[in-house]
Structure 1
């Protein structure tokens, strides 16, 4: 059983952790598109991402990646480290930790898992569990060649501020699709990543 995470009044993650202990509906890529009817009985593939927060510096930061431009799916997009659950993964925490180790060189022993955030359904058919974690030791990011073009960090305060988010739209498969964005400097954070971050912002504001 994982040890109970450290929570103090000054901890920037306190409000999110408190909210994570209450029942909360998940999110999806379809949230801002109410006209979409999802088929009953659809089969989603389990996946997990690591929402890793580094609290070792002057201000806490969320670690993100830019996917390689040669990737078949979502090239060049901003994402959390993560991916689909493999047969050898005992659970989705293991999936998130394995993927983070492979993609950015973050060793599982340098991470403290804090909580599971509400699940997110993607248009590509994945049921994604965002695993909130704290980085507990200094590490040097090493991008996985061929999959990750860049590893960078965004201030936690930036992505917990609802005023930083915008709703935009683009044509997708012949129809307009609306989605959240939360730009940061040169990084255009949108889609599932922005939606999960928006859930975090809502949890922090309403807990």
Structure 2
């Protein structure tokens, strides 16, 4: 999809009804489906926010940014995700959190980003976070400057996300989950699963409904 087409459809993207949990659960691990709204509330999750950043590549094709997190002793070590993190006391709201984290992790200046809309929050049981995604865009490809939390940046074509062949299942083993067949996206040969896949599932449905 050309970036001009993306921008010309932004009004539709802003007003289209979100798919919510129904869209997210198409790519949700079995562990996540065990948590209803009441169980999430009782978990008193920590608040976080992430940014799904869209921009034109050198061929003016609409792309978005994923990152591979650095390897560390923690729940989300080396996973593929959006830039983001937990809310800070200096953040005025979750949108500010998403913008601040994008700057800290990949060097994109907040004033250059136009936020399109907020999406449905995703509960992440292993780390007890409730993460709110925001769609945003910049008019030119940023010069990414990753910090110590980021192993690498990954540029994904929007058309690849919208291709149903990008959805698959994979037998995954993590520190908190044994061998389980898990729905996921395969994008640029990276396996994207868990909370990020749930967010992408809602984004995919939103774009398919809006464009």
TM, length-normalised to structure 1: 0.81
Cα 1:23–1:110, aligned 2, differ >3 Å: closer, same or farther?
closer
Cα displacement (A) at 1:19: 6.8
Farther off after superposition, 130-139 or 88-97: 130-139
- Determine whether 1:10 maps to 2:2: no
Q: Which runs of 5+ in 1 are unaligned?
A: 1-7
Q: Which residue of 2 aligns with 1:36?
A: 34
1:117-136 correspondence to structure 2 within 5 Å: 117-123=119-125, 124-136=127-139
Deviates more, 1:99-108 or 1:25-34: 25-34
Per the alignment, do residues 111 and 56 of structure 1 end up closer, same or farther by CA in structure 2, a change over 3 Å counting?
farther
Q: For 2:4 and 2:66, how far apart are their aligned partners in 1?
A: 26
Q: Offset at 1:77?
A: 1.0
Structure 2 CA distance for partners of 1:113 and 1:201, relative to 1, 3 Å: same
Instruction: Output the CA distance in 2 between the equivalents of 1:18 and 1:168.
Output: 31
CA distance 1:71–1:175, shift in 2 (3 Å): closer
Residue 135 of structure 1 and its aligned partner are, at CA, apart by 1.4
With normalisation by structure 2, the TM-score equals 0.80
Give 3-state SS (helix, strand or coil) of 2:202's partner: helix
Does residue 81 (structure 1) correspond to residue 83 (structure 2)? The answer is yes
8 A Cα contact 1:29 1:192, kept in partner: no
Is the 1:65–1:80 contact (alpha carbons within 8 Å) kept by the matching residues of 2? yes
Higher percent of residues as helix? 2
Indicate conservation of the 8 Å contact 2:47/2:130, yes or no.
Answer: yes
